[in-house]
């Protein structure tokens, strides 16, 4: 059986990953050189600033980062004093993370730079194109989340997907 040939230049998942990698690489160098923080560390600081008191698992879910990468970055941030670990008020068995005063300083320094990168990237689009992009990304994120949930559920139960096929192990 001859597998279908993927035209990578038109394949949306490939294009999105390449775009993210290009942006991430440029931003990573800037963040590390100027602020001494990696992109995963910055993401964690940004998420905890927006959503204080998350567990490391919840941070991984919010950022769609690998749990190992989150754990590694959390360890570095704790050691650097940029975040602190506490106990959840509603469940003393659960540890939660908060941005420390030092982490808040990093946030205040990096956020304007991150927003400037976004502004420069988006200035090539008209206001209408930006609104359309935002709308389309929202639709695609909802659909991707639903597909990921279906794949996880089908994998755990061995059920077939909506097309009557068993889910693949390595899509």
Total Cβ atoms within 10 A of residue 153: 12
Contact at 8 Å (CB) between 38 and 73? yes
DSSP state of 54: B
Element (H, E) at 163: none
Give 110's contacts (C-beta < 8 A, 6+ positions apart): 31, 35, 37, 42, 45, 46
Single out the residue of 62, 38, 34 nearest to residue 48, CA to CA.
62
Residue 170 in tokens: 């390595």
Compare 137 and 29 and report the one with higher pLDDT. Answer: 137
Q: How far apart are CA 100 and CA 105, in angstroms?
A: 9
Q: In the structure, what pLDDT confidence band is assigned to residue 92 with cuts at 50, 70 and 90?
A: confident
Whether 116 shows a pLDDT value over 60: the answer reads yes
Q: In the structure, what pLDDT confidence band is assigned to residue 163 with cuts at 50, 70 and 90?
A: low
Average pLDDT over residues 27-40: 87
Compare 79 and 24 and report the one with higher pLDDT. Answer: 79
Q: How far apart are CA 93 and CA 98, in angstroms?
A: 16
Whether 118 shows a pLDDT value over 50: the answer reads yes
Instruction: Give the pLDDT score at 171.
Output: 46
Task: Write down the residue that tokens 């005063």 correspond to.
Answer: 101
Q: In the structure, what pLDDT confidence band is assigned to residue 164 with cuts at 50, 70 and 90?
A: low
DSSP state of 66: -
Q: Note the residue count of the chain.
A: 171
Instruction: Give the pLDDT score at 28.
Output: 80
Q: How far apart are CA 74 and CA 81, in angstroms?
A: 10
Average pLDDT over residues 100-119: 94
Q: pTM of the full predicted structure?
A: 0.79
- 39-69: per-residue pLDDT in tens? 899 999 999 999 999 999 999 999 989 999 9
């Amino acid at each position: 059986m001859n597998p279908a040939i993927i035209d990578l230049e038109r394949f949306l998942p490939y294009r999105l990953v390449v775009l993210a990698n290009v942006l991430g690489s440029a931003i990573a160098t800037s963040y590390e050189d100027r602020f001494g923080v990696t992109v995963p560390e910055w993401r964690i600081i940004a998420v905890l600033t927006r959503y204080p008191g998350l567990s490391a698992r919840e941070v991984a879910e919010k950022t769609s980062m690998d749990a190992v990468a989150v754990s590694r970055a959390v360890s570095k941030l704790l050691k650097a004093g940029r975040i602190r670990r506490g106990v959840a008020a509603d469940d003393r068995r659960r540890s939660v993370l908060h941005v420390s005063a030092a982490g808040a300083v990093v946030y205040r320094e990096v956020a304007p730079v991150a927003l400037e990168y976004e502004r420069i990237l988006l200035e090539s689009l008209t206001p209408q194109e930006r609104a359309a992009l935002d709308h389309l990304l929202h639709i695609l994120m909802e659909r991707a989340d639903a597909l990921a949930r279906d794949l996880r559920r089908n994998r755990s139960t061995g059920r077939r997907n909506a097309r009557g096929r068993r889910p693949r192990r390595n899509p």
